[in-house]
Amino acid sequence: MKPDASASWFDRAEVSAAVLRSMDAQPITLAIVLGSGLADVANQIAEPLEIPYCSIPHFPRPTVAGHEGKAVLGTLGSVRVLLYQGRFHYYEGHDLDSVIFPIRVLSRLGVKHLILTAATGGIRPDLGAGRLVVLTDHLNLLGANPLRGVNEDRFGPRFPDMTEVYSARLRSWAIEEAAALGVELTPGVYACMPGPSYETPAEIRMLGVLGADVVGMSTVPEAIAARHMGMEVLGLALVSNAAAGVTGAPITHEEVLEAGRKAGPMLASLIERLANRIAVLK
């Protein structure tokens, strides 16, 4: 049956969630969104059920290298998880309703905890390639908000509070678990830019003045939508490269993907440890 494009976003999310439930009816405790080059986390999933996005009604198709375009259902540690291996970006031409749609589907599946990962540029000179940042806050510089338009009360309130977008509790756990792995996890603020061009050195200087520590082109719309629906969010940003002007070297998407591949096993271990702690919150 062809999806009804005239249906509300809530009804579309219900349809997509029903399809996923028909494939695996077990309750999902945790969802994870993987950023560019960070697919290694999927290798930790036990008994994975891979579902191409083209099999899920109303899902867009990712067009960016490093975003495979599939959902993975399975077990991570002691927790049932849903993994999005590939996300949708504003710069691809998607509207923000489409960008956040996979997060809307999570709410209809009853998911309460969400880990967002992203490859980012390091603005602070001490945040070189390979460093891992736990997000404390963000700057939405897309020029638009994913909640703009008629509010769907079944998702959440018209004016949701954003005082704590990224859970202090999950941040604390992440720092503890990273330390147990011998990894330094640096708190930081994420600036979301529209892309797809990388930022200019002048823009990076501006972002530093505004209080940003890392910069990217994703994550923030998803975090806003998740909080709108009452989900607890953890943001983990891998610094894949120094931002423009920090070192003077040009930036390429290939180095972003390579940094993700190198950090993948470490990030997978950290997320598995976090999943086991989140299990007690069920």
Residue 58 appears among annotated catalytic residues: no
Does residue 143 form part of some domain? yes
Amino acid at 189: V
The overall average pLDDT reported for the chain is 89
Residue 1 — pLDDT band, cuts 50, 70, 90?
A: very low
Residue 218 appears among annotated catalytic residues: yes
Residue 91 appears among annotated catalytic residues: yes
Does residue 276 form part of some domain? no
- Whether residue 67 is predicted with pLDDT greater than 80 in this model: the reply is no
Residue 222 appears among annotated catalytic residues: no
Pairing of strands 214-216, 185-192: parallel
**CATH number, domain at 132?**
3.40.50.1580
Does residue 282 form part of some domain? no
Specify the higher pLDDT residue, 67 or 26. 26
Q: Of 7, 164, 253, 258, which one is the catalytic site residue? A: 253
Does residue 241 form part of some domain? yes
Q: For residues 218 and 195, what is the distance between their CA atoms, to the nearest angstrom?
A: 9
Q: For residues 58 and 235, what is the distance between their CA atoms, to the nearest angstrom?
A: 26
% of the chain exceeding 70 in pLDDT: 87
Residue 217 appears among annotated catalytic residues: yes
- Tell me the residue length of the chain: 282
- Whether residue 204 is predicted with pLDDT greater than 90 in this model: the reply is yes
Write down the pLDDT at residue 275: 92
Q: Count how many domains the chain has.
A: 1
Q: Render pLDDT for 105-155 as a digit per residue (tens, 0 to 9).
A: 999 999 999 999 998 999 998 998 888 999 999 999 999 999 999 999 999
Neighbours of 209 (CB within 10 A): 8
Q: Render pLDDT for 88-103 as a digit per residue (tens, 0 to 9).
A: 999 999 999 999 999 9
Q: For residues 145 and 225, what is the distance between their CA atoms, to the nearest angstrom?
A: 10
Does residue 275 form part of some domain? no
Amino acid at 31: A
Does residue 68 form part of some domain? yes
Residue 174 — pLDDT band, cuts 50, 70, 90?
A: very high
Q: Which range is least confidently modeled, 47-51, 56-60, 217-221, 257-261?
A: 257-261
Q: Of 84, 241, 272, 275, which one is the catalytic site residue? A: 241
Pairing of strands 30-34, 113-122: parallel
Q: Of 13, 42, 118, 217, which one is the catalytic site residue? A: 217
Q: Of 17, 118, 119, 268, which one is the catalytic site residue? A: 119
Q: What is the pTM of this model?
A: 0.92
- Whether residue 228 is predicted with pLDDT greater than 80 in this model: the reply is yes
Does residue 104 form part of some domain? yes
Residue 241 appears among annotated catalytic residues: yes
Write down the pLDDT at residue 262: 67
Residue 240 appears among annotated catalytic residues: no
Over residues 189-205, mean pLDDT: 94
Domain extent at residue 197: 13-263
Over residues 191-210, mean pLDDT: 94
Write down the pLDDT at residue 281: 72
Q: Of 16, 42, 89, 212, which one is the catalytic site residue? A: 89
Does residue 2 form part of some domain? no
Residue 16 appears among annotated catalytic residues: no
Q: Of 16, 107, 140, 218, which one is the catalytic site residue? A: 218
Over residues 234-252, mean pLDDT: 75
Is the bond into 196 cis (omega within 30 degrees of 0)? Answer: yes
